[in-house]
Every structure is written in C-alpha cells, then in structure tokens.
Amino acid sequence: MNVQELAAGLWRWTTPHPDWTEAEEWPREVGSVYYEARRATVLFDPLVPSRVDRERFFEALDRDVERRGLPVTILLTVAWHERSAAELRERYAAGDEPPVGVEPFGVPEVDETLWWLPEHATLLAGDVLLGADDGVRVCPDSWLDGRSSHDSIREALAPLLDLPIVRILVSHGEPVLEDGRNALARALG
C-alpha cells in the first residue's frame, strides 16, 4: 500500500487489485481517495489492502474517523468499483449521499460519475480517464460497450474544462497533481 497526502485533508492510497491479471489493460495498483469534507469523511472507490497492510490501514482510518467525529460517506465513480465499499459501510455505518463540497458530474455514456472537490480544485475519475505519461487519457476502446465512442465521451467531458482543475485523481495509473485542466484538455483534444 502506498499512501500520499496531496493537501490538508486529501489523501490518495493505492493497493494491488485482488482480481488483477497480466491480461488487464490497467496497472495492478488501483487508487482510492480519502477526503475530509466539512461535514463528513468521504472515501472514494475504496479498496482495503489485503493481509500485511490491512491492520495498519484500519488503525489509521479508525483513528481519523474517531478524530473527526463526523459521518462517513462512501462514493463510487462506477458501480463495479464497489470493491471494499460494503465492508466499510458496515464498519462505519457509512452513507452514500455526497456531502456539501463534493459535486457529482455524470457521464451517462459510460455509466460513470466523476467527483469535483472545489476546495482542492480536484477532479476524481474512475475508468473514463486513466493516468498517462503526459497526464491523462480517455479509456481504451475495449472498455466501451458500443453505445458510446471516444467522440461522445470527449463531448460529454468537455464542460469540465470550465473548472479550475489542478489535480485529476484516477483509479488506474498515476494521478495528475498540477495543471490538471491542461492535462484534461490534451486528453480531450
């Protein structure tokens, strides 16, 4: 497990996906996000590490949840990122309604919700955007179900260019930690 503090109250952790195989078109390590919203502690696409890091993960998360004394919310970008959400919902009696300061951006073409955190100028994406050498890229053709195309996805994501995006945190690949708006513009170009 790798943990990175990105800003005060904004953390990203990666851990190996338990169902990953060499045939996958995404890296074995997948990203999840912890965010201290004003009225809730929010976990995005959470994946609890297995074995060695599991105890350390829960010690830290339990400590943070207790310290804040606020409800826990679990938000997914895509339904299949349910991963550890059920376990965490049970452990923390977590809800699934976005709190103030967390704004959804639906992309029906791929059944995905991106999440905008204005406080940190941060966009969170599940599968529609992937980390790339020069920032981010649109998901590969093999991930599309035939009812959408790269053109329709680019068109759907274009309104995000109106946001002052600094960071783009992705589930698959490396995040963009600065100049996120320009990284997104290149991916949509």
Helix axes 150-157, 180-188, angle to 10 degrees: 150
> Cα–Cα distance between 21 and 18 in angstroms, integer?
9
DSSP 136-147: EEEPPGGG--SS
pLDDT for position 124:
98
- Helical H segments across the chain, by residue range: 54-68, 85-92, 150-157, 180-188
Top-tier CATH class for 2-188: alpha beta
pLDDT for position 129:
96
Residues 6 or more apart from 120 whose CB is under 8 A from it? 6, 7, 10, 35, 166, 167
pLDDT for position 19:
79
Which residues of the chain fall below pLDDT 70? none
pLDDT tens digits, one per residue of 7-47: 999 999 999 887 788 877 777 899 999 999 999 999 999 99
pLDDT for position 90:
98
pLDDT for position 23:
76
3-state secondary structure of 84: coil
